[in-house]
Amino acid sequence: MKAIVTVIGKDKPGIISKVSTSLANMNVNIEDISQTIVQGNFTMLMLCDLEKAEFSLKEVKNKLVELGEEIGVSIHVQHEDIFNAMHKI
């Protein structure tokens, strides 16, 4: 199963490192990543593979939401199919 992880917030050192380390610790593979900073606002979108993850999608989501609160950013996790359906024209 694949999931889309989005991270949004004020830019600060360590965001990418902390999110990617958290995913790696859950055995989640980051397949693609895009990030940008616009006038101090950080945005990141990641396509992640949870096939070998040691946690369910819900558990991964909860852990990342908690991490986001700790580091002061908003982190959302969606199943890839839901993300694609929401962004289909």
What's the pLDDT score for residue 79? 81
Question: How many separate helices (H) and strands (E) can be counted in the chain?
Answer: 3, 4
In single-letter form, the type of residue at position 85 comes to: A
Q: What is the pLDDT of residue 21?
A: 98
Q: Are 58 and 3 in contact (CB under 8 A)?
A: no
Q: State the pLDDT at residue 87.
A: 60
Angle at the Cα of 79 from the Cα atoms of 37 and 71, rounded to 5 degrees: 40
Domains of the chain are 2-86 (3.30.70.260)
pTM beyond 0.85, yes or no: yes
Cα–Cα distance between 16 and 38 in angstroms, integer? 16
**For each of the chain's 89 residues, which pLDDT tens digit applies?**
999 999 999 999 999 999 999 999 999 999 999 999 999 999 999 999 999 999 999 999 999 999 999 999 999 999 866 665 666 65
